[in-house]
């Protein structure tokens, strides 16, 4: 049990508007030995939002291969039910917390995670904002964050292999079905006929629980003139999240799918959940990496006392 107060902040990720995007609670621990899994899972259940993140500093600032100063933290992510291996919005929220409160005094953070080392870079978005005017107690919000994540390969999948899909999707017209080859079943990726169909979809959550996958991603081409390339939504009731409002990690697979389909490596994605969120994506085909850029906003702060 943690006996000293633990600072936390709740951050809405992939949005610049409070109460939109995807909420994540970010908890800052002082020592690695405080990372008790049962306690962290209990805290995540208490917050009961799509992700709760736990940060532990590794060392003081050091230099990367390009001689840039970086700060390193251990990072773990928990849904209300389970620990996950990769989380985009939780990483964005954690980086935002560290940058906004100037806990990280560099523009680059390395997170050591279950998926290896993930990099977050601070990208200023308002050059006329003087950060020195903010006191140490107030978060500074005027920047974007770029995440460097691995791509996730997708495999073709036949609808006959998942006979319950038409019922799961309430008869929505399917264009293509893919899946990720990951431990625990991976995710199903279903392209629907249009982004509007994605936004309007009301799937059968009980049927999703029966699917041979961690979760179900539905996606479709964005409407003309929307400013986006594709829409998506992510449903994962097995993990205690009926719908993840904005999921960064599923775009590690979506970017390879839509890049090939649209013939370009720079895309803008919209997650069409009721909260909504925007992700700017760049596919590095040579290194099989995806750069995910987004904004975030702090909506709550406090201390855990138990």
User: Which two three-digit tokens encode residue 165?
Assistant: 């899909």
What b-and-e string marks burial along 41-59, b requiring 16 or more CB atoms within 10 Å of the CB?
A: bebbeebebbbbbbbbbee
- Close Cβ partners of 284 (under 8 Å, ≥ 6 residues apart): 265, 290, 291
- CA 54 – CA 67 distance, rounded (Å): 28
Q: Which of 241, 195, 251, 239 lies closest to 214 in space, CA to CA?
A: 239
Helix (H) / strand (E) containing 205: helix 205-210
* E-only strand ranges, the chain: 6-13, 22-28, 51-63, 69-78, 83-84, 108-113, 116-124, 143-150, 154-156, 174-180, 187-192, 215-221, 230-236, 241-244, 266-271, 277-284, 289-294, 296-304
Burial of 171 (0-12, 13-18, 19+ CB in 10 A): exposed
Sign of CA dihedral 94, 95, 98, 101: negative
Backbone phi, psi, residue 30, to 5°: -90, -35
Burial of 82 (0-12, 13-18, 19+ CB in 10 A): middle
Catalytically active residues, by annotation = 51
């Amino acid at each position: 049990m943690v006996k000293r107060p633990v600072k936390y902040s709740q951050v809405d990720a992939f949005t610049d508007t409070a109460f939109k995007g995807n909420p994540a609670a970010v908890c800052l621990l002082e020592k690695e030995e405080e990372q008790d899994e049962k306690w962290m899972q209990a805290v995540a259940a208490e917050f009961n939002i799509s992700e709760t993140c736990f940060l532990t500093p590794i060392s003081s600032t050091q230099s990367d291969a390009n001689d840039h100063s970086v700060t390193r933290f251990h990072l773990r992510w928990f849904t209300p039910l389970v620990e996950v291996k990769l989380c985009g919005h939780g990483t964005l929220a954690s980086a935002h917390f560290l940058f906004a409160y100037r806990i990280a005094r560099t523009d680059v953070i390395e997170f050591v995670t279950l998926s290896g080392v993930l990099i977050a870079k601070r990208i200023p978005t308002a050059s006329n904002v003087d950060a020195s005017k903010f006191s140490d107690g107030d978060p500074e919000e005027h920047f974007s964050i770029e995440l460097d994540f691995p791509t996730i390969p997708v495999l073709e999948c036949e609808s006959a292999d998942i006979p319950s899909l038409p019922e799961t999707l309430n008869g929505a017209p399917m264009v293509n079905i893919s899946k990720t080859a990951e431990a625990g079943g991976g995710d199903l990726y279903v392209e629907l006929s249009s982004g509007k169909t994605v936004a309007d979809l009301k799937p059968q959550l009980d049927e999703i629980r029966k699917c041979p996958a961690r979760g179900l991603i539905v996606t479709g081409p964005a409407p003309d003139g929307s400013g986006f390339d594709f829409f998506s939504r992510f449903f994962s009731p097995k993990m205690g999240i009926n719908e993840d409002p904005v999921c960064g990690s599923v775009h590690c697979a979506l970017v390879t799918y839509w890049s090939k389909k649209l013939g370009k490596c720079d895309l803008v994605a919209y997650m069409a959940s009721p909260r909504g969120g925007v992700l700017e994506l760049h596919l590095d085909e040579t290194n099989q990496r995806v750069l995910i850029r987004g904004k975030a906003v702090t909506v709550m702060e406090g201390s855990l006392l138990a």
